[in-house]
Structure 1
Amino acid sequence: MIKNRFHYYRLANDILLGTLIANILGDQITRIFFSNRDTGFSQDFITLIWFVDMFYLIIACIIAIVVIVSYESPVRNCLKSFYKGRRCDPEMMKKAQRRLLNEPYLIIVLNILIWTVGTFVFWLIGSEASHIGVACGMVTVILAFFWVEHVSQKKLIPIFFPDGGLAKVKGAKTLGLGVRIGAWLLAVSIIPLSYIYITTRWFREQEQAGKTNPGELLEHFQFTLIMESSLFILLAVGLSILVVKNFRAPLQEIIQTMTRIKKGDFTARAKVLTNDEIGFVGETLNAMAEGLGERELIKDTFGKYIDRRVRDEILNGNIPLDGEIKEATILFADLRDFTPMAATTPPKTLIRILNGYLDEMSGCIQAHQGLILQFIGDEIEAVFGAPVYESDHVASALRAAIDMQSCLEKLNRRHRKMGFPVLKHGIGIHTGTVLAANIGSRDRMAYSLVGETVNMASRIQGLNKKFQTDILVSHDVAQSVKGEFFLKPMKETQVKGIQMPVTVYTLVL
């Protein structure tokens, strides 16, 4: 946070030094402007003015040092703690945050008082050029304000507000963008133009009074105009650079953060450097990013319990809550002799075997655009063609079944090497119309399919035991993929719930 002793002293004194430099600079410009006036004062009086000016400048700087250092004591104490590697007292930290945000306004008031009193003092001793002090004082006040704001944004705000929250500080004053821009325009255009107008008018009065040779007066006027314009231009450029930096830094933070969020990085946070309108946008952006992150976390967590396609369809509102009739193909897969295996296999090993099987089979189903509806113990229920319709859903189901059989053989080879039991399963496939909907209670719902097609697929899967087969499909499936796969018809058989015998087909690999 604080690199070394020099860094610590810079952080603690940059605002103070900037304020002093701004006032010394304003005083020197005042002296230059005053020196270029042919006031008619005696040399003794001008010497008195310079002496009073130097004395007042020293007194004003001492007062500024005392006021600023006293006001900044909580800030300085916290910086000292940070430098020594200690945590700042929470109450002290709150006070330091509040004073840091309010310090630019203290600098405004302090400088206005210094320059107002100074202008009044010079008016009392007989100086007729009080407008010089007013103009230079106003520019100095604005310059000091933007300098303090610059130091705060660049160096101190990131230390005292690492997580933002500037708007939450109680008692902190806010100066809007409109007032800032107005102050900048005042310093770079209105004050210089007004001052040059007063200068032009003063030379006009000198010409009318006939106190100076017209040629000399014109030459003096040209020199004065060029000199004053040059000084004001330099001040305007310097102040404009400062103002642009003050506006650009928080805006760049917001733009960079928005770019990261746009790319899907919801951990991105903008460093909030002000408590104005730009700061409010930064705070709002951070809150939005946090909300999007939470939403994405919920979405990802949701996707672990149901298929991502169902998740997306539900979140997009594409699955009617009251159900819809869809054409789909249902696949059931069930492990054979799982109950005896469970009785003789240690629980942890059994779960490892079961999860490995379900993981492999799920991969095969999803590779062919199938959707896992549910795991019922050692049984898998899957659908092809819902919730997102596919014209080739019947063939996709058969391709998935072929891959499942191939994956089971590979899995068994690994099991033999590890000393695990060899697995067998039966797969049943049927196609037809189903009722698809979110089904469940108010508190818990699931995307489910119901209807005779589902029941038939389950019963066909059960026929594998009877025919000693691995994959059986219904007559409707066989007709849909006729010629694409080698399907061997089995003997007509009675199926529970169906009066007439049905013909099923085994998929020959």
Structure 2
Amino acid sequence: MIVGKTASSRDFSQNYHSRVRISRLLLNTLLIPTISCHNMTRRMKSLVVDDFPERRGNMKKRGERGAPGEVSESEVSESDVSLTGLYVISVKAMAIGVAIVFLLNFATPTDFIFDRFADFKAAATVSYAPVVAKRLIGFLLVILFIATPSLLVMHWLLRPVINCLKGMKNGIQVEAAMLEGARRRIINLPFFFVGIQLCVWVVLPALIFYVFFLFRMMDMRTAVVFSTRASMVGFVISSIAFYRIEDYCRKKLIPFFFPEGQLAGLQGAQHLAIGRRILFFYAMGAVLPLVILLVTLITVQWELAPGTMPAKEYGMRIIAFTVVLSCFFLISAGILNRLVARSIVAPIKNILDVNARIRQGDYTARIKVVSNDEIGILGDSGNAMIQGLRERETLRTAFGQYVTPEIRDEILSNRIPLDGERREGTVMFSDLENFTPFVENNPPEEVMRSMRAYFTRMQQTIRKHRGLVIQFVGDEIEAVFGVPVYFENHADAAVHAALEMRKALEALNRERTAEGKTPFAHGIGIHSGSVLAGNSGSEDQSAYCLIGNTVNVAARIQGLTREIGCDILISEETVEQLSVSPKMEQLPPRQVKGYSKSITVYRLL
């Protein structure tokens, strides 16, 4: 047998069964004050800046993102920028914490708790409700007593944010110092609020139970244990409040105040590393429950002595307390696990989603940076790399408008040697006849439009046959087939392109004639051989070009078209590489300028 100090075995048996019935009533009504306080905070709109229409329209530089002293366009709409949820979290944290302490104390098998509920034993079954109502009113008063300072503390902490938002609402230019202070307060808010709340959970229980000791309602050891246990419960509740506030800020405030991320670069901002998050969760979810259970068992031994209470009764009461404690920590550990996991997994998932979009070529994607821990730094680095890829793609696209995609890719991939490389290919030159009189007799705008129309038709035809336009010089086109990307039958491709260019020019001339404009005539020269392909120019500015005797001969052959009076001439070297010979006429060997040997050319019919 285990004997108590002040109560008989019969009293303990009656008290135990009475407390079981009382527990059912209390559990059904215990959430009422929490819900009431939650609804009460909904009415505190006067303390909160809820909606901020035209908050950015009155800024100094509308649309400029990340400018010092300004809040720019972000993904968060005006209706999302609300501080109400932070007040709700602060009240709920205190209310739930007090409720948990009340439940744990109620389930603790000590004479102090039994004496506090002696009126339940004396009441009949039908009169339990008034007794519960009496206790509930007292519980509500405690909640209100604690919740009011909590609301005031939260409002005080949010003053920099509220002032900044009010300034935007009123169309006042927000100074850089004010904006930076609001940003810093948003990041530090979970740390500051929870730090103050922890102090409350340490000081307030100590004062309350010390009063109980002064009025001889409990001994000093029991007061110390109850106070310590309440503080431990406060640690758990505060840790949940920390992650809830952090989660709220990440969803509602940080995207608005940090549209470009860069939270880690803000001076004076606190941060919680990922390793500490996991360690913190382990301490709150695993270590603390064991400590509370151990402290409670020791307390019960102080309260009980051999000779009064049956062992079975003692065991049942310990089991009841353990069940309540286990339920509390199972729920709190589940909530903590969800919040901690979300604080880590959600940003990582966002990074993976953005990475998938980048792999698909969507360089408009952006990582949503909402923290200043390792993941936040990784997100900022990722955004910097995405920005680099976006700029590279923009340059690549713009570069492709001045050179062909083949040359662009060769240059950007650094596959072109510094001194160039020898390639086998077929070079083509095309030049308009009587271009100088045309320029003299027409406005520059008309010349530009006409040249653009001509070059567009010719370039499209050359591209159709896998040719590459190297450059447009005046009225001349230089193109190559088989360079820089080699392919078989490049000579055939060049000849077929020249024949189709003849048809394209005929179609263009029909349009020009219909418009009353002078028709064009051009001469095309083609030659095959070895060329040196590479970057030419200065160290600061270079251009892709072809160098070699093959290029010079092709240019001279094009010049022969004026002398002979035809539009397409090809060299004997090109004819020798043709797999299918078109209709052509061999001309006598001719001497060309700058070339020591006579060359044989063929006129395409």
Change in 2 beyond 3 A, CA 1:97/1:42: closer
Partner residue of 2:98?
A: 27
Change in 2 beyond 3 A, CA 1:311/1:2: farther
Partner residue of 1:77?
A: 163
Partner residue of 1:92?
A: 178
- Pairwise CA distance, 1:323: 2.3
Give the Cα–Cα distance (whole angstroms) in 1 for the partners of residues 410 and 362 of structure 2.
Answer: 23
Give the Cα–Cα distance (whole angstroms) in 2 for the partners of residues 404 and 188 of structure 1.
Answer: 79
Give the Cα–Cα distance (whole angstroms) in 1 for the partners of residues 448 and 143 of structure 2.
Answer: 84
Deviations 1:88-110 (A, max 9, x none): 44432221111111111112210
SS in 1 for 2:485: coil
Worse-superposed segment, 214-223 or 379-388: 214-223
Worse-superposed segment, 152-161 or 240-249: 240-249
8 A Cα contact 1:8 1:83, kept in partner: no
**Is 2:180 the partner of 1:101?**
no
Give the Cα–Cα distance (whole angstroms) in 1 for the partners of residues 151 and 208 of structure 2.
Answer: 23
- Pairwise CA distance, 1:327: 1.2
Give the Cα–Cα distance (whole angstroms) in 2 for the partners of residues 41 and 306 of structure 1.
Answer: 89
**Is 2:389 the partner of 1:275?**
no
Partner residue of 2:205?
A: 119
SS in 1 for 2:427: strand
Change in 2 beyond 3 A, CA 1:4/1:482: closer
Worse-superposed segment, 350-359 or 433-442: 433-442
Change in 2 beyond 3 A, CA 1:10/1:384: closer
Give the Cα–Cα distance (whole angstroms) in 1 for the partners of residues 80 and 371 of structure 2.
Answer: 23
- Pairwise CA distance, 1:221: 2.3
**Is 2:440 the partner of 1:354?**
no
Change in 2 beyond 3 A, CA 1:241/1:83: farther
SS in 2 for 1:209: strand
Q: What is the Cα-based RMSD across aligned positions, in Å?
A: 2.7
Partner residue of 2:347?
A: 250
Counterpart of 1:440 (choices 534, 537, 561) is 537
Worse-superposed segment, 86-95 or 361-370: 86-95
Worse-superposed segment, 94-103 or 439-448: 439-448
Counterpart of 1:219 (choices 299, 316, 320) is 316
Q: Letter of the aligned partner of 2:263 in structure 1?
A: L
Give the Cα–Cα distance (whole angstroms) in 2 for the partners of residues 341 and 243 of structure 1.
Answer: 76
Aligned residues: 505
Partner residue of 1:188?
A: 285
Partner residue of 1:66?
A: 152
Partner residue of 2:112?
A: 41
- Pairwise CA distance, 1:226: 1.9
Deviations 1:448-487 (A, max 9, x none): 1122111111111111112211110001111111543222
Worse-superposed segment, 81-90 or 241-250: 81-90
- Pairwise CA distance, 1:72: 1.1
Change in 2 beyond 3 A, CA 1:179/1:494: same
Worse-superposed segment, 212-221 or 371-380: 212-221
SS in 1 for 2:93: helix
Worse-superposed segment, 86-95 or 292-301: 86-95
Counterpart of 2:522 (choices 425, 428, 453) is 425
- Pairwise CA distance, 1:145: 0.7
Worse-superposed segment, 205-214 or 385-394: 205-214
Q: Letter of the aligned partner of 1:506 in structure 2?
A: R
Partner residue of 1:415?
A: 512
Gaps of 5+ in 1: none
8 A Cα contact 2:427 2:527, kept in partner: yes
- Pairwise CA distance, 1:309: 0.9
Give the Cα–Cα distance (whole angstroms) in 2 for the partners of residues 94 and 35 of structure 1.
Answer: 47
8 A Cα contact 1:437 1:447, kept in partner: yes
**Is 2:469 the partner of 1:398?**
no
Change in 2 beyond 3 A, CA 1:101/1:231: same
TM norm structure 1: 0.92
8 A Cα contact 1:373 1:382, kept in partner: yes
* Structure with more contact order per residue of length (Cα contacts < 8 Å, sep ≥ 6): 2
Change in 2 beyond 3 A, CA 1:391/1:2: farther
Partner residue of 2:41?
A: none
**Is 2:262 the partner of 1:176?**
no
Change in 2 beyond 3 A, CA 1:346/1:8: closer
TM norm structure 2: 0.78
